[in-house]
Amino acid sequence: MSPLAAAAGVRALLGIATHALSNRRSPRTCHEAEYKMLEAATNAEQAAYDHPGFNDRFDAAERGVHVSRGIIGQSQNYVSSVATLIAAAVVLARLYPLLLPLLVLAAVPQSIASIRSDRVAYLAAVATHKDRRAKHMLRRHLIAKDQSDQVRTDTLAPYLLKKYEAGAVRVKATSNTATWDRAKIVCVGAAATGLASSLVWGLCPSRRDPP
């Protein structure tokens, strides 16, 4: 068996084992996160429920529990990507030692743009958190069976719908602004990366065979 075939086989077996362990650990991680959240909530003082930021923090913790389901899988993908990059860097360093640091520098603008873009999305999510939570509560009151008679007979429906639409407009405006800002950041980062890559490849000597 050739070394390449053996390496491919080992890689496939490791991939299967990692995937199996990931699927096994994800539910346990989600359970632990949910248990810690509930434990913290039950240990909170009764007066904490009247605090303006308590419900917001609890909702954020609840979303964190749901997000924890994919943390292990995302970590697995991250480790695999890093290993692939390291392997490619080793090969590239042996072929053209000067090319590796130049390519790393060329990728810096796009990396900065990605970080800034994700930050804009995060800040938009934080800014619209209260409106999204209010929309969820209003939607529940509008469609709940227990309040359906009051909503229809006490003319609450137009008022609740108006409040719901006002929150939706604010969320949409903030999301659209964040989307536009992210698009500008990504375009600038892509342009800078393209220019840097062109300079890198322009500076590299043309060779038919690697040394």
Q: What is the pLDDT of residues 145-158, one digit of tens each?
A: 776 677 677 677 78
| AA identity, residue 127 | A
Q: Say if pTM beats, i.e. exceeds, 0.75.
A: no
**3-state secondary structure string, 167-209?**
HHHHHHHHHHHHHHHHHHHHHHHHHHHHHHHHHHHHHCCCCCC
**What would the DSSP string read from start to end of 90-151?**
HHHHHH-TTHHHHHHHHHHHHHHHHHHHHHHHHHHHHHTHHHHHHHHHHHHHHH-STTHHHH
201 CB-near residues (< 8 Å, 6+ apart): none
Stretch 82-88: mean pLDDT, rounded? 72
Confidence class of residue 211 from pLDDT cuts 50, 70 and 90? very low
Distance CA 84, CA 76 (A): 12
Structure tokens at 115: 């970080």
Q: What is the pLDDT of residues 55-64, one digit of tens each?
A: 777 777 777 7
pLDDT at 201 exceeding the cut of 50: yes
- Angle of helix 156-203 relative to helix 99-127, nearest 10 degrees? 170
Structure tokens at 101: 């640091």
Cβ atoms of 174 and 128 within 8 Å: the answer is: yes
Displacement of CA 83 from its chain's centroid (Å): 21
Confidence class of residue 210 from pLDDT cuts 50, 70 and 90? very low
Mean pLDDT score across all residues of the chain: 76
CA proximity to 40, closest of 20, 22, 60: 60
Displacement of CA 65 from its chain's centroid (Å): 14
Cβ atoms of 78 and 70 within 8 Å: the answer is: no
What percentage of the chain carries pLDDT values higher than 70?
Answer: 76
